[in-house]
Amino acid sequence: MVGLNSDASVRRLKGPDRPVRSEAERAYVLAGLETVDAVAVFDQDTPLELVTLIRPDVIVKGGDYSPENVVGAAEVRSWGGECVIIPLTPGQSTTSIIERLRSSRHA
């Protein structure tokens, strides 16, 4: 299962110009991945409520996080689960793509 920030949550966290893709579009792409069984959209600023409800065995975040900073990691570890940090693919964050698009328009 993948927890996905709602559009309103992304706007609160990232600003009024985000998200670039709607929650429905983002959920559709994630649901199409072979390893994803379900996508849960949450409206809170963190997934803590979803994590405590679902009680996953593993919580995963990108390499721009450390295990100590992952919301819900302590809870997952408390019931025997683990926190996994996966490396980011350089240049593929939404922020870096937006920056490249903006700079190419002004070039």
Quote the percentage of the chain above a pLDDT of 70: 99
Instruction: Give 2's strand partners.
Output: 39
What's the predicted TM-score (pTM) here?
0.85
Residue-wise pLDDT for 30-49, tens only, equals 999 999 999 999 999 999 99
Instruction: Give 3's strand partners.
Output: 40
Please say whether the beta carbons of 37 and 61 come within 8 A. no
Determine the Cα–Cα distance for residues 14 and 2; give it in Å rounded to an integer: 20
Question: Residue 105 belongs to what H/E stretch?
Answer: helix 94-105
* pLDDT attached to residue 25: 97
Which structure tokens are listed for 22?
A: 């709607």
Segments of the chain assigned E as strands: 2-5, 39-42, 58-62, 82-86
Determine the Cα–Cα distance for residues 2 and 92; give it in Å rounded to an integer: 19
Cα–Cα nearest to 72, from 86, 87, 83: 83
